Structure 1
Amino acid sequence: MASVQRKRLAYTDDRFSMLPDEILGLILSSLSLKDAMATSILCSRLRYSWIFTSNLDLHVDWYAALKKQPRDYDTEHTLQLWIDEWLNYAVSRKVESLDLNLIAYSPEKRYSFPYKQRHFPDNLKLLKKLCLHSVNVSGEAVAFMLGNCRLLEQLSLSETDELSSLEVVGTSSVFKCLAISQCKNLKSIVVRESEVVCIKYNGARCRLFVIVDVPLLTQLWIQADPQSCYFSGRRGAIKGILDMFRSVLAQLHT
């Protein structure tokens, strides 16, 4: 019986050994981190392969269950440190795409994006895509990121309640897409001297909105939900948002 089991394990091991590294990497990268780690018991080749995956998909579902239990320590502080460690690891791996979505996290104590002036790893300059959802980040931090991540192609900010002003000025030639969604405290937006091609906007009309010298802007996406808190009871609210972009409407593709 033991001999049969050894033969089966050897056969499984051989089949994985036949796969090229590229194919094996694609398979592991399509799995969640938990599932990728689970493959380490299948054969010797996969024992440490999961640590080389190009996609890290981490979830903090355990946090909701943890909060329901009696707390002998500060879970909020623990989660902040845990995410800090994950980000530092991701940056050390020279990631090109970073998507931080903390939609289930407590709105009152949201995670604050740690990278700003005087605390900015060199590897972060390799980012090509940055998405922050339900994460606290200031306008100064975003401007600093845009000024230092010269390979950044896409920036998406969603439900970043700490954001009150945003300046996208003098971006690199590769920066092409800016997405802003439901940033309820955002009062000022300035987009100037940029080669951005696409702007996506979902939110209320800003008190100050400046968009000049954006010759390549040809795509504008506006999401307007009449049932949302941004538009309900506000007559002409959607027209007001269109007026924000009036100066560039003529250059858009239809």
Structure 2
Amino acid sequence: MSIVMESQDVDRLSNMPDEVLSEVLSLMPTKFAARTSILSKKWRYKWTLVTNIDIDVHPFHGLQNCCNFVDRVLDLCQTTEIKLFRLRFSNLWVQKSSMTKWINDAISLNVRDLDIQFALLELPVSFFTCKTLTKLRIENGSDFEVMDWQTPFNLPCLKTLDIAIFSDPSLNAFRLIRGCPVLESLSLKITWRGDEEDYIFRIPTLKHLKLSVPKCASIINKVVLNVPNLDSFCLDGTWCSLFVMEDFPSLVSVSFSFSEVRFVHLYVELLKGITGAKSLSLDRASVRLPDASFLKFPNLKHLEFKSGYRLNWLFIFQFLESCSELEQLFIQKPDMEQPCWTEPHSLPTCILNNLTTIKYENCMGREDELQFLEYMLGNAQVLKTLAITFNSGLVEEETRLYAKFLKCPRASRYCEIRFLGKSFGSASR
């Protein structure tokens, strides 16, 4: 009986279907995909089958080399549909004629996802009515506003829009937004907020909204949100605005990350507008709210106080009083105004009936922190998990705290205490 052995020199990768090779090469930056042309004659033009064109100026030796490469890629591209066209030029000034040509070429190839970072941008006429675009990201990499789009937009399939501009959103961003009739996700970043104009968002299809203003003059304007299908809302930076929530019936997740809050009454009104949320994350807000009892969050299941949020223990328990259905509490490295523990006069309903998970990160081992955690252990009757991350850096201290918590009375017989620190890595009991 003779056995014929199959040759071990078969190049299985090269013999894969072009459709599969195209998918593989499209997963990497286009510059690296193009380098496969040196493998063999068979591979010389395989990279031109890519459906993703992803080019960043940084790996190239000079801006002109990068521009020449973009020209070559678009000239040789063999696909009839570009899934992703990403050009990242940071704050470098590319000739407007070049950028216009590249975007026009991508549109002629039925681009679906367009991601452009630039210092100068002039859009081709074909862009304003592009029917294939479903996702768009535009970032102005300079502190000089150059966009002034006069032509009305009509992007009938655009669902995701991420736009970062320097200032004056009414000149560009809002014109673009109004031309997206099926928009579902919007991220708008305004580098410098100095106008008094009201911002009005009436987008019935919108599900996800993120608004960011890193720098803001002390100007109080109005932000009107009429977004009946909104699921998640993220707000960060510095805002000097009165938020008017006209229609928020579907709101699930809210995240606020403020570098500064200059007007407490505006912040209070903002919190009142999102009381229907199921998840709330508060981060880095330099604001003191002396009384949180006026707030009611009847649907809230998940609450986070993240790094730098100024707190006191009274405020935390007032907040818990307003969240009768709360199940998860996450506290990360709080900035305590008064690191002094005072036991609350009454026990919030959620601690008795609903709270199942507590995570306390970056515990410094202060006496007030330990008293808070002991109180929660002794009163949370349905608690399943208490996770504590220590940040003292002292092995002996962390070991002592570990032993102390294991001896604490637990109101819930099913509660598991998990520890993370230098002395014991990760442990649970």
TM-score when normalising by structure 2: 0.42
Aligned letter for 1:190? V
More displaced 10-residue stretch of structure 1: 30-39 or 41-50: 41-50
Letter in 2 for 1:167: I
Indicate how the Cα distance of structure 1 residues 218 and 35 shifts in structure 2: closer, same or farther if over 3 A, else same.
Answer: same
SS in structure 1 of the partner of residue 56 of structure 2: coil
The alpha carbon displacement at 1:185 in A equals 4.8
What CA deviation, in whole Å up to 9, does each residue of 1:65-120 have, x standing for no partner? 669xxxxxxx976444443334334444444433444579332x3553x7x45264
Q: Does 1:59 align with 2:56?
A: yes
Pairing 1:106–2:142 present:
yes
Residue 202 of structure 1 aligns with an amino acid whose one-letter code is D
Q: Does 1:15 align with 2:51?
A: no
Which amino acid letter does the alignment assign opposite residue 182 of structure 1? V
Q: Which residue of 87, 94, 101 corresponds with 1:85?
A: 101
Q: 1:245 to 1:126 in 2, by over 3 A?
A: same
1:214 maps to 2:221: no
1:156 maps onto 2:156 in alignment: no
What residue is the counterpart of 1:4 in the other structure? none
User: In 2, Cα distance between the equivalents of 1:208 and 1:82?
Assistant: 42
- The count of residues paired between Structure 1 and Structure 2 equals 220
Preserved CA contact (<8 Å) 1:136 1:162: yes
1:30 aligns with 2:37: no
Instruction: Looking at secondary structure, tell me which structure has more strand per residue.
Output: 2
Q: CA deviation at 1:238?
A: 8.1
Correspondence list, 1:163-242, <5 A: 164=195, 165=197, 166-169=199-202, 171-173=203-205, 175-185=206-216, 187-225=221-259, 231=260, 237=262, 239=264, 242=267
Q: Report the secondary structure of 1:61's partner residue.
A: coil
CA shift, 1:197, in A, is: 1.5
Deviations 1:163-206 (A, max 9, x none): 8553211x243x21111123535854221144221111112223
Query: Are 1:243 and 2:268 counterparts?
Result: yes
Give the whole-Å Cα distance in 2 for the aligned partners of 1:36 and 1:137.
39
Change (3 A) 1:197 1:139: farther
Structure 2 counterpart of 1:84, one-letter code: T
Conserved in 1, the CA contact under 8 Å of 2:211 and 2:234?
A: yes
The amino acid of 1:130's aligned partner reads L
- The answer as to whether partners of 1:200 and 1:222 remain within 8 angstroms in 2 is yes
Amino acid across the alignment from 1:16: S
- Kept after mapping to 1: 8 A contact 2:189/2:212: yes
Gaps of 5+ in 2: 1-8, 65-90, 119-138, 279-299, 301-429
Relative to the length of structure 1, the TM-score reads 0.65
d(CA) in 2 for partners of 1:11, 1:98: 39
The whole-number CA distance in structure 2 between the counterparts of 1:156 and 1:119 is 20
Larger relative contact order (Cα-Cα within 8 Å, sequence gap ≥ 6): 1
**Are the equivalent residues in 2 in contact too, given 1:100–1:132 (CA < 8 A)?**
no
Query: Relative to 1, partners in 2 of residues 1:98 and 1:248: Cα closer, same or farther, differing over 3 Å?
Result: farther
Q: Report sequence identity in percent.
A: 23
Q: Which amino acid aligns with 1:18?
A: M
Match of residue 169 from structure 2: 138
Gaps spanning 5+ residues in structure 1: where? 1-9, 68-74, 226-230
Within 2, Cα distance between the matches of 1:241 and 1:90? Answer: 44
Task: Call closer, same or farther: CA 1:149–1:163 in 2, change over 3 Å.
Answer: farther
Amino acid paired to 1:28: L
Whether the 8 Å contact between 1:168 and 1:194 is mirrored in structure 2 is: no
Instruction: Tell me which protein shows more helix as a share of its residues.
Output: 1
Question: Alpha-carbon deviations, 1:25-84, whole Å to 9, x = none?
Answer: 3322221122223234445665555455343323233899669xxxxxxx9764444433
1:118 to 151, 162, 165: 151
Secondary structure at the aligned position of 2:24 is classed as helix
Q: In structure 2, the residue corresponding to 1:26 is in which secondary structure?
A: helix
Q: Mark the CA change 1:156 to 1:97 in structure 2 (over 3 Å): closer, same or farther.
A: farther
* Larger gyration radius, structure 1 or structure 2: 2
Mark the CA change 1:78 to 1:153 in structure 2 (over 3 Å): closer, same or farther. Answer: same
Q: 1:3 aligns to what?
A: none
**2: CA distance, partners of 1:88 / 1:31:** 23
Q: Find the aligned partners of 2:223 and 2:159 in 1 and give their Cα distance.
A: 22
Distance change >3 Å, CA 134–CA 207, structure 1 → 2: closer
Aligned letter for 2:162? Answer: C
Contact map agreement 1:198 1:220 (CA 8 A) in 2: yes
Assess, with a 3 A threshold, how the Cα gap between structure 1 residues 63 and 48 changes in structure 2: closer, same or farther. closer
